[in-house]
Amino acid sequence: MNIRQIHENDAESFLNLLIELDNETKFMMIEPEERKKDSDIIKSIIQNNLKDSFMYVVEEEKKLVGFLTGRRGTANRIKHTVYIIIGILKIHCGRGIGKELFRELERWARENNIRRLELTVMTHNEKAINLYKKIGFKIEGIKEKSILLDGKFIDEYYMGKIL
């Protein structure tokens, strides 16, 4: 397993990872077939995020199997915050990859004067919630009916961690 910063030339592999995640889990935001299959869009996202945000991938046997992005706040009043999105293919879950990604994120955050990490998670995603709590995140509130999934409204927890 190799955890590293994403590169522009990872665009197509990263797009494939996102599409695979879209198809295998309902815990991510994008539904199957909703994502535009354009690696140039992904390349542009990577370029924009490399400037002042965190974007790491997990590579195993030359295939991307997970990622964690942390988008830094752009306005002066929230530049100390990072909003997080994480995705790991099911077959690779439970191996400590998430903890390692968060360890890298926290190292980067401290080097870049980040004081607050935040994320949202569906309230029934117990495995993710347990991971986040284990590494120091706290539930700060509930976003009621924030996701429409299979015709039903789902609540999300808003979670944060102060560094």
Query: What does the pLDDT look like over 14-64, one tens digit per residue?
Result: 999 999 999 998 898 888 888 888 888 899 889 887 778 999 999 999 999
CATH fold of 2-119: Aminopeptidase (3.40.630)
Radius of gyration of the CA atoms of the chain, in A: 15
Mean pLDDT of 151-161: 97
pLDDT, tens digit (0-9, with 9 covering 90-100), for 61-81: 999 999 999 999 999 999 999
Which residue has tokens 């999105």?
85
- CA proximity to 55, closest of 111, 92, 14: 14
For residues 118 and 78, the answer to whether their CB atoms sit within 8 Å is no
**CA–CA distance, 52 with 75 (Å, rounded to integer):** 13
